[in-house]
Amino acid sequence: MTYPNPPLSRRQMLAASAAVVVAFSAASCTASPTPAPTPAGPAPTASDPWRPVVHLTAEKNWLNDPNGLVYHDGTYHAFYQYNPRGNSWGNMSWGHSTSKDLIHWEQQPVALEASLEEEIFSGCIVMDTNNASGLGSAGNPPMVALYTSAYGKNGALPQGAQAQSVAFSLDQGATWQKYRGNPILNLAPTNNNFRDPKITWYEPGRYWVMTTVVADAQVVKLFKSTDLLHWDYLSDFSGAGAQGGLWEVPELLLMDVEDSTAKKWVMLLSINPGGIAGGSGMQYFVGEFDGTHFTAENAAAPDAPLNESQWLDHGADYYAANSISGAPGDKPVLLGWMGNWDYAQHVPTTPWRGAMAIPRELTLVRGAKRLELRSAIAGAARETLERPGEVKSKNLTVGSSQQDLGQDFTGRAQMIELDMDLTSAREAGVHLRQSADGNTGLRISYDKETHTVKVDRSKAGTTNFSEKFSPYHEVTLPASDNTVRLGILLDSSSVEVFAQDGVAVISDTFFPDWDATGSSAFSIDGDTDFTVRTRAL
């Protein structure tokens, strides 16, 4: 397999019969001399059919939010909400996995384990390079975790209370000690929904800024610190965007505005329920941060229709995403949980439950009305995904019918790039994980008249585990001509559709039959020209 260098234009790429799959972003692909590492973790089998191939899962048991995402000394660390004792939510602890490339993960011992006194809810990790906390030494600076203590019986605060605590590691994240002075940040009066600390460095003031939530009051609370242990209140952010549920896992990010020298602050915020696809979802705000206040610009009013808010993903399964502290590159790299609190506890996987989405990098661009985020597969992950195997490519015209894509496009996990030109058709798309009789499959389509991309999982396998497992999700793209490009990352129990090079993403879990591995293209009310490229994963 050779890689184009310099990158081909989109037109050249369409013309190339055996073009590469470019991993759903405008970024160039580069060859890497290093061979692909051996996949870590279990592979899908007929008895564990929904085990992802390229997404992070725990070998067994429940996981939800990613926590403590940090890159240090060439290793990515993902800590996460984890139940060491069962396959549903409870005994919340921090699990731990490490990776060199954001695709192959190696599970590590549990980092912070729940006790009767305290469960370990979501939070973050930074490298305290200057040992400002004093928890390490100049020669061996600590990794510092800020997490939410959710108090049980005989804890430092009354049962049910939530406050922020510190833990630290002096051996690159392998083992952790809790700080003696915990909790380091509590509200007065004590609150039962004060959680999810995430911190960012504010260079003009040379201090750390922490975002947290009072989840049931739909408020983000900001604090500052120079030593990670003592935190002073700065301000509240509230009264904008979707309000229909708990506000959780906030993050403030400083981002470059593409094609300009400007920078803007972006607030990521998870909401549950009340997301754009039903249940859990992630909204964001773009604005200014002056060291004390975050002010959103062009934000939807709290009572505005949901589609006026800005959403990081329009599928049902993308939640609690936050950035990897210290990740290489100049764009934030996010890891999110591919789950939805509406039904995550009931999904039919065992002995594990819960997976992370593909790591994504964000870009901030000028949209038609306001600044908007674009998502792409993160560079490190992309390089690995593009390495193994051969790219199969096919051009075809389909007229008011369905056409099998053939042997090259069968498979349980694939990275597909689909260019469709709906010359005379009204709607066109593909069925993936289709059964041999054609009766079941995941349907991904584009409607030319409404400029809408839709993912329909209603006939894509097992759905009866929850009445709240919503059947389909859609997003309206900016109007374009007849063409649409979809980057589709298909794994054993999930699909992530990057529309028009990341203008919008739909991430959905689904639970297809093991034997359903076919793919077909369809066109409705006229002709569609397809260029399909796939890489088996």
Catalytic residue list? 65
Among 61, 99, 122, 325, binds ligand FRU (CB under 6 A): 122
121 is an interface residue for ligand FRU by CB under 6 A: yes
- Please report, for residues 2, 42, 106, 323, 394, the alpha-carbon distance to residue 249 in angstroms, rounded to integers and kept in the order given: 41, 29, 25, 11, 42
Q: Are the beta carbons of 417 and 494 closer than 8 angstroms?
A: no
CB of 269 to ligand FRU, least distance (A): 11
Q: What's the DSSP call for residue 217? A: G
Tell me how far, at minimum, the Cβ of 301 lies from ligand FRU, in Å: 25
Q: Which is nearer to ligand FRU, 121 or 409 (CB)?
A: 121
CA–CA separation, 333 and 345 (whole Å)? 27
- 269: its two tokens: 């915020």
Which one, 95 or 461, has the nearer CB to ligand FRU?
A: 95
Question: Does 491 sit near ligand FRU (CB under 6 A)?
Answer: no
Nearer of residues 248 and 508 to ligand FRU, judged by Cβ: 248
Residues 306-365 that bind ligand FRU (CB under 6 A): 320
Tokens of 311: 């959403």
Q: Does 484 bind ligand FRU (CB under 6 A)?
A: no
Q: Where are the alpha helices (DSSP H) in 364-439?
A: 379-385
Q: Residue 500: beta bridge partners?
A: none
CA 174/CA 192 separation, integer angstroms: 30
Looking at 19, 70, 92, 111, which residue binds ligand FRU (CB under 6 A)? 92
To ligand FRU, the closest distance from the beta carbon of 31 in angstroms equals: 39
Residues numbered 205 to 224 that lie near ligand FRU (CB under 6 A) are none
Rounded to a whole number of angstroms, the minimum distance from the CB of residue 337 to ligand FRU is 7
| Comparison of 322 and 414: residue with beta carbon closer to ligand FRU | 322
Q: Are 20 and 386 in contact (CB under 8 A)?
A: yes
Give 168's Cβ-side CA count (13 Å radius): 22
Per CB under 6 A, which of residues 223..262 are in contact with ligand FRU?
248-249
Helix, strand, coil fractions of the chain, as percent rounded to 5: 5, 45, 50
Tell me, by CB under 6 A, how many residues bind ligand FRU.
12
Stretch 170-189 residues interacting with ligand FRU (CB under 6 A) = none
* Omega within 30 of 0 (cis) for the link into 332: no
Task: Kindly tell me which residue out of 113, 128, 196, 386 binds ligand FRU, with binding defined by CB under 6 A.
Answer: 196
**Least gap, CB of 510 to ligand FRU (angstroms):** 21
Which residues, numbered 142-171, are part of the site for ligand FRU (CB under 6 A)? 148
Nearest residue (CB) to ligand FRU, 165 versus 528 = 165
- Compute the least distance from the CB of residue 81 to ligand FRU, in Å: 4
We find the least distance from the C-beta atom of residue 169 to ligand FRU, in angstroms, to be 20
Contact 487, 26 (CB under 8 A): no
Query: DSSP readout, 246-304?
Result: EEEEEEEEEEEBTTSS-EEEEEEEEEES--TTSSSEEEEEEEEE-SS-EEESSPPPTTS
Residue 159 and residue 153: Cα distance in Å, rounded?
Answer: 6
Cα gap 224→431, rounded to integer Å:
50
Per-residue x/- track, 48-87, ligand FRU (CB under 6 A):
----------------xx---------------x------
- Residue 65 CB, shortest distance to ligand FRU, in Å, is 5
Q: Which is nearer to ligand FRU, 65 or 474 (CB)?
A: 65
Residues 6+ apart with CB under 8 A from 34: none
Q: How far is the CB of 91 from ligand FRU (least distance, A)?
A: 10
3-state secondary structure string across 184-216: CECCCCCECCEEEEEEEEEHHHCEEEEEEEEHH
Looking only at residues 389 through 408 of this chain, which bind ligand FRU when binding is defined by CB under 6 A? Answer: none
CB 23, CB 372: distance < 8 Å = no
Nearer to ligand FRU, 101 or 196 (CB): 196
By beta-carbon proximity to ligand FRU, the closer residue of 25 and 57 is 57
Q: In the complex, what is the shortest distance from the CB of residue 196 to ligand FRU, in angstroms, rounded to a whole number?
A: 5
The residues in 11-50 that bind ligand FRU, with binding defined as CB under 6 A, are: none
The bridge status of strand 360-366 relative to strand 333-337 is antiparallel
Q: Which is nearer to ligand FRU, 248 or 421 (CB)?
A: 248
* Beta-carbon count within 10 A of 208 CB: 21
CB closer to ligand FRU, 76 vs 82: 82
Q: Which tokens in the block code for residue 445?
A: 């389509």
Q: What residues between 450 and 479 interact with ligand FRU by CB under 6 A?
A: none
Options 195, 221, 433, 473; binder of ligand FRU; rule CB under 6 A: 195
Q: Is 104 left (phi over 0), alpha (psi -120 to 50) or beta?
A: beta
Spatial contact of 307 and 277, defined as CB atoms under 8 Å apart: no
Q: Is the dihedral of CA 150, 153, 159, 161 positive or negative?
A: negative
Cα–Cα distance for residue pair 360/497, rounded to 1 Å = 12
> Where on the chain is the footprint of ligand FRU (CB under 6 A)?
64-65, 81, 92, 121-122, 148, 195-196, 248-249, 320
